Amino acid sequence: MEAKAVSRYVRISPQKVRMLIDAVKGKPVEAALDKLKFMPQKAAGIVEKVVRSAVANADQKPDMDVDSLVIRNIMVDPGPMLKRFRARARGRGARILKRTAHITVILAEDSLS
């Protein structure tokens, strides 16, 4: 059995989220949440919220044991970019890309417990 949560159009660069998902991928949910709580990055709070949402989704399934959940996979895909311009010298404009991300968390029951 699997439980899944998706957060879409998050206003953060996918590259910044990918830096820290390797730290929690494959870990038990409790250990992952403890680790995310003490990470200083903005993305840690966002990923923590998505993991908690996936745990809540797993709790709704009657045949899933919430205590034995493991983070099977976390994926971060790029979302649409907001395109803005900043004024530069000689009347030119420089493009600014405000990136968004789609974060997907998949939880599964640990086969060992």
**pLDDT tens-place string over residues 14-43:** 999 999 999 999 999 999 999 999 999 999
**pLDDT tens-place string over residues 35-88:** 999 999 999 999 999 999 999 999 999 888 889 999 999 999 999 999 999 999
- The DSSP string of the chain is -EEEEEEEEESS-HHHHHHHHTTTTTSBHHHHHHHHHT--SHHHHHHHHHHHHHHHHHHTSTT--GGGEEEEEEEEEE-PPEEEEEE-GGG-EEEEEE--EEEEEEEEE-TT-
Sketch the domain layout of the chain as residue ranges: 2-109
pTM passes above 0.85: yes
Q: Report the CATH number of the 2-109 domain.
A: 3.90.470.10
Average pLDDT value over all residues in the chain = 95
